[in-house]
Amino acid sequence: MNPLILNWQKTDGLVPAIVQDADTAQVLMLGYMNADALGQTLATRRVTFFSRSKNRLWVKGETSGHHLDLVDLAADCDQDALLVRARPNGPTCHRGTCSCFSEGGATGAGFLAELDRVVQGRLAGGDEQSYTVRLVREGVPRVAQKVGEEGVETALAAVTASNADFAGEAADLLYHLIVLLRAKGLALTDATAVLEKRHAKKQ
């Protein structure tokens, strides 16, 4: 990401800060930071803005508890805006939605990260009505067996079934692979990090 160099004079001491979910890449909200808000964000690792309506620093989630945990941030090419990558603790928007820009969650490839969070939450909750919880409690070998079964079914569907059926089998495989990662104490990001490193070596 770009080095954190900002032209405060250009922006009259206040820069727009776009907050993005560090895992799903979904845009969560837009706020504004001055130098003090940026300093507090870096010091506490909780995203802090300057509230123009309250005329003071404002920690996101200070009343709701839905804080934004800072992962990293960077300035744009003109040094007059910030991209803040964070992990939300609950809904970001005051409407109770995860994003101020949409009512739904992450879409596309970002939904896989959202699904990983759902699996993590199900396992932490321990609800016996959850298929995910019941499967993981059968042990890693059983989850691994399911991944193997789904892998075979996906391969067979690729050569014998319609594209719609193949996509369905691929979805089942992705879900069970995420469950297996969690059963092994890993997250989807552990696998994608390996892919990112491999990609970087080829460039």
CA 183 – CA 93 distance, rounded (Å): 32
**In-domain check, residue 100:** no
What is the identity of the amino acid at 2? N
| Dihedral sign for Cα atoms in the order 40, 48, 70, 179 | positive
Tokens of 90: 């609950």
pLDDT reported for residue 4? 82
CA 144 – CA 75 distance, rounded (Å): 43
CATH of the domain at 55: 3.10.20.810
Same domain, 75 and 140: no
**In-domain check, residue 163:** yes
- This prediction's pTM: 0.82
How does DSSP classify residue 98?
S
pLDDT beneath 50, residues of the chain = 1
Same domain, 151 and 197: yes
Give residue-wise pLDDT tens across range 115-167: 999 999 999 999 989 999 999 999 999 999 999 999 999 999 999 999 999 99
Of 57, 88, 119, which residue is a domain's last?
88
The total of structural domains in the chain comes to: 2
Range of the domain at 127: 110-202
pLDDT reported for residue 102? 87
